[in-house]
Amino acid sequence: MSLKIASWNVNSVRLRMPQVERFAREAGPDVICLQEIKCLAEQFPAKAFAEAGYPHQAICGQKGLHGVAIVSKHPLQQQPVPTFCPRNEARAQAVEVAGIELFNLYIPAGGDEPDTSTNPKFAHKLEYLNRAKDSFDARTDKSFAKVVLVGDLNIAPGEFDVWSHKQMKNVVSHTQIEINALAAMQNSFDFVDIARQYQPEPEPLFTWWSYRSKDWTQNNRGRRLDHIWVSKALTPTKYQPNSDFIAHTACRSWERPSDHAPITLELNLV
């Protein structure tokens, strides 16, 4: 059986629901992990998702800001909320679906200054990363557990995950301290960064483009902020470029789009 998992920072699920429905029709994911739903759980368009074929839902919302949700064609079991966010914002959830433990994360952006002593938002971001690392570090099942971690991790780790490494290296989302913290979290469970298996460096690969550009396609000043990681037990044996992993960049050109494009991974489960 195969399981197609999508991750999308929708930047308001209520506003963007027609686009999510279109994406669901066209890409056909089994599971959709959303970030920045920007609403309370009771405001989530649960009925519309059920009618679109996603009756199984886990919603972790808060008023107006942040918020994550997972909707699924297959039954899911909610797991305890991960305690990665030191402010207890709605930025993390975990479910079990089709025998897989699935984490959906929205890591804090981190503000403007990459300095923990002057910028509490940056400290918050690093604390989140560190807590996630500690949590995975403490586990003893990393060699056999079937874990998928997706979300808006708000870090573009590689030189070719940003439009200009040189101009971005002191900009929050691409600083060495964040890249190191993300790598530590990834290594704590031997996660594989699946996108770069399918589309290796030095090919540029982006999932986010700022709204503050008249035409995002003109100079393509993007960043790869959205990620899908899989544990060792789920690592595919061979990678076919542009097949199983897709960054759906065309969605960025839809009318009134999210600033993030959705990404999908089709997992072939044995």
Partner DNA sequence: ATGGCCGCCCTAGGCGGA
Give the residues lining the site for DNA (CB under 7 A).
Answer: 9, 11-12, 14-15, 36, 38-39, 63-66, 108-112, 121, 152, 154, 172-173, 208, 210-214, 223, 225, 256, 259-260
Q: Are 139 and 166 in contact (CB under 8 A)?
A: no
Closest separation in Å from C-beta 166 to DNA: 13
* Residue 185 Cβ vs DNA, minimum distance, rounded to whole Å: 17
Of the pair 82, 236, the CB lying nearest DNA is at: 82
Q: Please say which residue, 37 or 100, places its beta carbon nearer to DNA.
A: 37
Q: Which structure tokens are listed for 143?
A: 């060699």
Output the smallest distance, CB 9 to DNA, in A.
6
Least distance (Å) from DNA to the CB of residue 39? 6
Decide the pairing of beta strands 31-35 and 2-9: parallel
Shortest distance in whole angstroms from residue 29 CB to DNA:
20
Residue 100 vs 110, nearer CB to DNA: 110
Looking at the Cβ atoms of 100 and 129, the one nearer to DNA is: 129
Which lies closer to DNA via its Cβ, residue 30 or residue 226?
226
Q: How far is the CB of 103 from DNA (least distance, A)?
A: 17
